[in-house]
Amino acid sequence: MSDRFALIYNPRSRRNLKADPKYLELAGKMLGPLFCSPRTHAALRQQVYALLQQRIGCLVVDGGDGTVGHVLSALYTSSCPPEQWPRIVVLPSGNTNLIATDVGFGKRGVEALQILHARLSAGRLFSDERRRQPLVVTRDGQKDTASLGFFGGLGAFGRGIEIAHDPKILKNYSHDAAVMATLFVTVWQLLSPKHRRAWLEGTKVTIERDGEVLPEQNHFLFLCTALHRLPHGVWPFWHNLSEVDRGIKYLDVAAFPPHLGRAVWNLLRGNAPQWLQQNTAYNSGSATKLVLHTDQSFVLDGEVIPPGEDGCLTVSAGPVVSFVHM
């Protein structure tokens, strides 16, 4: 495998909408045809396939979580075995950059390219790596339509994403303000008698966890991640110390959960007190494979994925991906 690196630059990512001409000029001079700027998902997929043919050792992704997910999805659906995939460098430029918080390179633009080039020249490009298993979401058992990502869920999470994607919010607020507006609308609806019940009664989902069918119930919230860290100390997951990390961390909150305000306050601060862990309405753990029987869509890194024709979605721990860290 070549020790060269290629760059996939998403011009539609939020922080790339105002292009830095010095950065683009340097990328073009430094990388030549290995600098790719696809404008559609189909073009991105084809460029990833072409780069694999050149046996690139490292693939730099300049975009948000969605762009990283699309690159990994292209790798997954290619004929290249995972052990031959290039290492990934994440330069955060999107609406959401959860992945970069955990495994990102920490730099962007001209500075990032200069550091990468210097480390490559010194033979130290891969001196600091972090390995993760992305979530693989499939429908009807079809690998060629699989979506890869790192943070997903349904129930209240899906409702929140719908609010965040409302054109009134997207057009009238900056990203940080849009997040605050989304939180405000969500809290307002949870406190409003008119909307509260619709949120709290949750979504009907039957969950199979590593072959075990869990009791059927409505779920207020279901989240899962392949990350090891989230921004601002948020960590709404826990597991028994004796339990092995199987790749997927999940949180399952039943409909009409008691003490919801206290629970949210603790989980947003990365705390899972004993009273919360012992409450049967709140469950968290680790799994290798989750099969969700539902008529609701699953949201993966902002992408809305409807269930298959059989009314199922499968979330699996994917192949190990190496991320270059700084």
DSSP E strands in the chain: the ranges are 5-9, 35-36, 58-63, 87-92, 129-132, 135-138, 147-149, 151-155, 203-209, 212-213, 217-225, 248-254, 282-287, 289-293, 298-300, 303-305, 312-317, 321-324
Do 109 and 173 sit in the same domain of this protein?
no
What are the b/e assignments for 22-37, b being 16+ CB within 10 Å?
Answer: ebbebbeeebeebbbb
φ/ψ (deg, to 5) at 100: -65, -30
Do 52 and 87 sit in the same domain of this protein?
yes
Average pLDDT of the segment spanning 182-200: 73
Please tell me the predicted confidence (pLDDT) of residue 193: 77
Please tell me the predicted confidence (pLDDT) of residue 302: 85
Average pLDDT of the segment spanning 155-165: 80
Please tell me the predicted confidence (pLDDT) of residue 174: 53
Sheet holding 5-9, edge to edge: 35-36, 5-9, 58-63, 87-92, 321-324, 129-132
Name the pLDDT band for 172 (thresholds 50, 70, 90): low
Q: Whose CA is closest to 293, among 205, 214, 218? A: 205
Spatial CB neighbours of 312, under 8 Å, sequence gap ≥ 6: 139, 140, 291, 292, 293, 294
Domain region containing 56: 5-132
Average pLDDT of the segment spanning 104-133: 88
pLDDT in tens, 59-81: 999 999 999 999 999 999 999 99
H or E segment to which residue 23 belongs: helix 21-31
Question: What value does the CA radius of gyration of the chain take, rounded to a whole number of Å?
Answer: 20
CA distance 73 to 233: 28
Please tell me the predicted confidence (pLDDT) of residue 51: 95
Please tell me the predicted confidence (pLDDT) of residue 2: 61
Helices in 37-155 by DSSP H: which ranges? 41-53, 65-77, 98-103, 109-121
Among residues 75, 101, 132, the one where a domain terminates is: 132
CA distance 105 to 112: 8
Please tell me the predicted confidence (pLDDT) of residue 177: 56
Please tell me the predicted confidence (pLDDT) of residue 183: 55
Do 42 and 114 sit in the same domain of this protein?
yes
Domain of residue 18, CATH code: 3.40.50.10330
User: Does 176 score more than 60 pLDDT?
Assistant: no
Average pLDDT of the segment spanning 9-23: 86
Please tell me the predicted confidence (pLDDT) of residue 169: 61
Of 97-111, 233-247, 266-280, 309-323, where does mean pLDDT reach its minimum? 233-247
Give the CA count within 13 Å in the CB-facing half-sphere of 78: 24
Please tell me the predicted confidence (pLDDT) of residue 181: 58
Of 45-54, 97-106, 180-189, 245-254, where does mean pLDDT reach its minimum? 180-189
Name the pLDDT band for 3 (thresholds 50, 70, 90): low
Please tell me the predicted confidence (pLDDT) of residue 1: 56
Do 256 and 287 sit in the same domain of this protein?
yes
pLDDT in tens, 241-279: 777 788 999 999 999 999 988 998 898 889 999 999 999
Among residues 103, 132, 161, the one where a domain terminates is: 132
User: Does 187 score more than 70 pLDDT?
Assistant: no
Mean of all residue pLDDT scores within the chain: 88
**141 within some domain:** no
Number of structural domains found in the chain? 2
Please tell me the predicted confidence (pLDDT) of residue 264: 87
Residue listed under structure tokens 């550091």: 115
Do 226 and 289 sit in the same domain of this protein?
yes
Do 177 and 128 sit in the same domain of this protein?
no
Q: Comparing 292 with 180, which gets the higher pLDDT?
A: 292
Of 46-50, 134-138, 186-190, 239-243, where does mean pLDDT reach its minimum? 186-190
CA distance 282 to 301: 23
Please tell me the predicted confidence (pLDDT) of residue 180: 53
